[in-house]
C-alpha cells in the first residue's frame, strides 16, 4: 500500500480511484464495511482503491476541548488500512490550508485533481470543507460536474449506529468485550515499558509499566484479562491493571501488565495490549496480604477467561 503524507498538491498517484474520506478512528466493523465497498468497487471497475484520512482528529484543531480520545494511533490506523487491501492511503495534515479549503476546492483540488475519483464512498452524515459546509447533496452536485459517482453507506448494526463514539463509551465503561464486538477485534493499547516502583515484583507478581501515547482512549480503572504482543516472543496471556494502586495510597494512574508464567526483562520494549475481558473493579484492600490473595484469584480468573 502506498502511503502519502504532506501537501496533497505534491502527491503522485496513477489512474482513477474509488475513494473514501474520514478520520476512521478505530477502523471498526462499520469502517471496514465501507472500505470493503471501496476495494470491491475498484476491483470491478479496474480502478485503484484509496482512503483519505487526517493526521489528527479535526476537533483537536477546531475545538480542542471537545476532541475525543482516540481508539488508534495514526500508525495503527495505516496498518489496518493495509490489512483491508487498499492501494493508497493519503494522510492530510489538518492545518490551516486543509481546514480552510471550501467544499468545492476540497473536492476539485484533491479528489479530482490528485485521485481522479471515479466513485466516492462515504458514511451517512458526511460533511467536508471549511466550516463543514459540504454535505452529501453538494458532493453529488460536484460528481455531476466532475464525472464521479457518490455512494452513501449507513453504519448500523443490531444495537444501533455503529460509531467510534459508541465504542469509546464502551471502553470508558470497561466493557471491553462489547467494544471488541463492535471493533471486530480486541481493543488495543500500545505502550513502551518504563521503570516503575517495583512493587509487583516484591509481592510476587512482577509487572511491566506502560507509557501509553497521549490522547488514547483508556478502559475504566480495574483488572482485565489481556493478551500482550511482545517483540521477539509473540502473544502472551496476561493480566492488566489500570488504576492508582489505592492499597498503597497511590494517586497517579498507571497501566501495568503481568505476563502469565513469564518474567522477561521488558524495559524499553514496545508492547501491544489486547483487552479480552474485564475481571473486576479497582479496589482498596485492608492489607497487602489481602491484595496478594486477590491477585492470585485474578490470575486464576484470567487463565480461565483466556483458555
Element housing 238 (H / E): strand 234-243
- Counting every residue written for the chain, the total comes to 307
Q: Which of 79, 256, 290, 301 is catalytic?
A: 256
Cα–Cα nearest to 122, from 174, 217, 52, 66: 52
Compute the C-alpha angle 264/274/172, nearest 5°.
125
| Residues with Cβ within 8 Å of residue 215, at least 6 apart in sequence | 60, 67, 69, 70
End-to-end Cα separation, the chain, in angstroms: 36
Catalytic (active site) residue 256: yes
d(CA 273, CA 81): 20
Cα–Cα nearest to 232, from 187, 268, 276: 268
- Residues assigned a catalytic role: 256
Amino acid at each position: 500500500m502506498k502511503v502519502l503524507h504532506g501537501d496533497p498538491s505534491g502527491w503522485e498517484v496513477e489512474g482513477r480511484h474509488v475513494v473514501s474520506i474520514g478520520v476512521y478512528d478505530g477502523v471498526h466493523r462499520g469502517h471496514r464495511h465501507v472500505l470493503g465497498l471501496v476495494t470491491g468497487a475498484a476491483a470491478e471497475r479496474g480502478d485503484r482503491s484509496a482512503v483519505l484520512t487526517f493526521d489528527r482528529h479535526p476537533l483537536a484543531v477546531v475545538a480542542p476541548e471537545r476532541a475525543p480520545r482516540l481508539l488508534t494511533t495514526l500508525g495503527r490506523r495505516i496498518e489496518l488500512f493495509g490489512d483491508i487491501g487498499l492501494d493508497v492511503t493519503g494522510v492530510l495534515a489538518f492545518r490551516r490550508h486543509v481546514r480552510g479549503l471550501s467544499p468545492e476546492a476540497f473536492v476539485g483540488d484533491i479528489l479530482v485533481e490528485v485521485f481522479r475519483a471515479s466513485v466516492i464512498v462515504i458514511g451517512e452524515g458526511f460533511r467536508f470543507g471549511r466550516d463543514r459546509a459540504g454535505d452529501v447533496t453538494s458532493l453529488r452536485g460536484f460528481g455531476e460536474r466532475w464525472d464521479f459517482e457518490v455512494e452513501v453507506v449507513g453504519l448500523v448494526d443490531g444495537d444501533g449506529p455503529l460509531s467510534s463514539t459508541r465504542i469509546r463509551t464502551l471502553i470508558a465503561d470497561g466493557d471491553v468485550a462489547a467494544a471488541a464486538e463492535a471493533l471486530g477485534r480486541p481493543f488495543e493499547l500500545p505502550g513502551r515499558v518504563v521503570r516503575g516502583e517495583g512493587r509487583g515484583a516484591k509481592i510476587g507478581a512482577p509487572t511491566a509499566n506502560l507509557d501509553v501515547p497521549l490522547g488514547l482512549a483508556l478502559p475504566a480503572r480495574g483488572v482485565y484479562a489481556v493478551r500482550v504482543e511482545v517483540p521477539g516472543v509473540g502473544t502472551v496471556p496476561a493480566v492488566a491493571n489500570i488504576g492508582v494502586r489505592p492499597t498503597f495510597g497511590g494517586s497517579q494512574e498507571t497501566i501495568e501488565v503481568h505476563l502469565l508464567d513469564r518474567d522477561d526483562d521488558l524495559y524499553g520494549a514496545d508492547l501491544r495490549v489486547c483487552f479480552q475481558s474485564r475481571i473486576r473493579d479497582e479496589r482498596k484492600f485492608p492489607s497487602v496480604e489481602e491484595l496478594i490473595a486477590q491477585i492470585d484469584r485474578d490470575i486464576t480468573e484470567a487463565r480461565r477467561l483466556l483458555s
